[in-house]
Amino acid sequence: MTPEEQLAETVRVEGARVLATLIRTLGSLQLAEDAVQDAAVAALQTWPRDGIPGDPRAWLTVTARHKAYDALRREAARPGKELAAAGGAALVAPDLAPEVLDMVEPETVVRDDQLRLMFTCCHPALAREAQVALALRTLAGLDVAAIARGFLVPEATMAKRLTRARQKIAQARIPYRVPPDTELPGRLASVLAVVHLIATESHAPSAGEQVVRVDLEAEAVRLARLLNELMPGEPEVLSLLALLLFTAARRPARTDAAGDPVPLAAQDRSMWDQAAIAEASGLLAEAVRRSGGVAGPYQLQAHLSACHSTAPTYAGTDWDRIVGLYDLLLRLSANPAVALNRAVAVTERDGPAAGLAALDAISGMARSHLWHAARADALRRLGETGRARDALRQAVELAPTAPERKLLSRRLAEMAPR
């Protein structure tokens, strides 16, 4: 990272922390975002010249607050009620002394506000794609262009999505608070799903050319770490962080020198990040201790990931345990993608005939390239080369990204007809 990038990173991360508190004090997401944006611009102009202040966060907090109150005063001086019509409650500039504007909140207040922001961004009244965009914009501090690139949509589309989400929060009055205990499990599940989606989208993009989008995977880990700091000891939060770290640990081995994807079976395990795997194992052990014997969906997925991360080789993986874990996961929700992974594990444990039977028993996967590729693998092992090639051809046709198409085409070329 160059010094300029380091500086921009500091401004982004600290700005996101400042934003959470400003939203609460101003009561307006839009106004707070604009103020933090203005403060960030000011920081990037003055810090390289005058040096980074001793407490960058305090500098950004105070500057953003002054920018916000300047904006409020300008609005108040304007004739008419354009502001209220623009979709917010009528905002009034409070008459505050400069000393009040210059006070910095204690750390505990900042943390509470960040947790509020998490739950507001992930409120079920917002569409899932809006939740994800809002979380990356406000909690991770990414700009609209970066989020749009991350999800391969035009910047204008992403900007509109964010505007609509902010309007819904303001007009429908989505509250800025941590939900009460009775609603917490359901609401937390929504937060976890958003963080998980950011991570899975980053290493298995559903469209486009790139295999690894390093930024989004790192952002998901960062958000999971933040959530784990804000809600310490919450088993499913610990489990999600463990799951993301297990997956991120394989990143160096997940693509080859040409940038093409390498399947788990062919990955060079010596390239896996052992420090990340050790940290993930520790987090998972704590999740198990705290969950009182009832494993949630993320704990089960973390156990699955742990099985792979600690296996000496692909063949030496504990497939029996993996099949058992998928059975438990299927009991929580009948998801065809989980059933597919289970069938792949059955192929490894019981052989290709049993695996093929398990694959053919899954309905609703005819449009999935992964299902056809898994069938092709089982058929190849059964010596049914012709049918295996047919299945692979369908997989190539359905593969959503260029690198996946390339991988499957190469496999097809290697499987010469007899």
Provide, rounded to whole angstroms, the least separation between the CB of residue 388 and other proteins.
44
Residue closer to other proteins (CB basis): 169 or 340: 169
- Angle at the Cα of 337 from the Cα atoms of 333 and 341, rounded to 5 degrees: 105
Provide, rounded to whole angstroms, the least separation between the CB of residue 229 and other proteins.
25
Residue closer to other proteins (CB basis): 187 or 321: 187
What are the structure tokens assigned to 261, written together? 């994807």
Residue closer to other proteins (CB basis): 88 or 205: 88
The answer to whether 221 and 244 are in contact (CB under 8 A) is yes
Alpha-carbon distance 110 to 74, whole Å? 27
Residue closer to other proteins (CB basis): 128 or 177: 177
Residue closer to other proteins (CB basis): 179 or 208: 179
Which letter, b or e, does each residue of 19-51 get, where b requires 16 or more Cβ atoms within 10 Å of its Cβ? bbbbbbebebbbbbbbbbbbbbebbeeebeeee
Angstrom distances, CA of residue 311 to CA of 72, 315, 317: 59, 9, 5
Provide, rounded to whole angstroms, the least separation between the CB of residue 30 and other proteins.
17
Provide, rounded to whole angstroms, the least separation between the CB of residue 32 and other proteins.
18
Alpha-carbon distance 18 to 41, whole Å? 14
Alpha-carbon distance 282 to 277, whole Å? 9
Determine what percent of the chain falls in helix, strand and coil, rounding each to the nearest 5.
70, 0, 30
Provide, rounded to whole angstroms, the least separation between the CB of residue 179 and other proteins.
7
Which letter, b or e, does each residue of 66-83 get, where b requires 16 or more Cβ atoms within 10 Å of its Cβ? bbbbebbeebeeeeeeeb
Provide, rounded to whole angstroms, the least separation between the CB of residue 232 and other proteins.
25
Residues that bind other proteins (CB under 8 A): 123, 125, 171-175, 179, 183
The answer to whether 389 and 412 are in contact (CB under 8 A) is yes
Give the H or E element holding residue 124.
none
Residue closer to other proteins (CB basis): 125 or 214: 125
For 48-124, list the strands marked E by DSSP: none
Residue closer to other proteins (CB basis): 124 or 383: 124
Angstrom distances, CA of residue 281 to CA of 235, 239, 252, 274, 304: 13, 10, 19, 10, 12
Provide, rounded to whole angstroms, the least separation between the CB of residue 172 and other proteins.
5
Residue closer to other proteins (CB basis): 25 or 171: 171
Provide, rounded to whole angstroms, the least separation between the CB of residue 175 and other proteins.
4
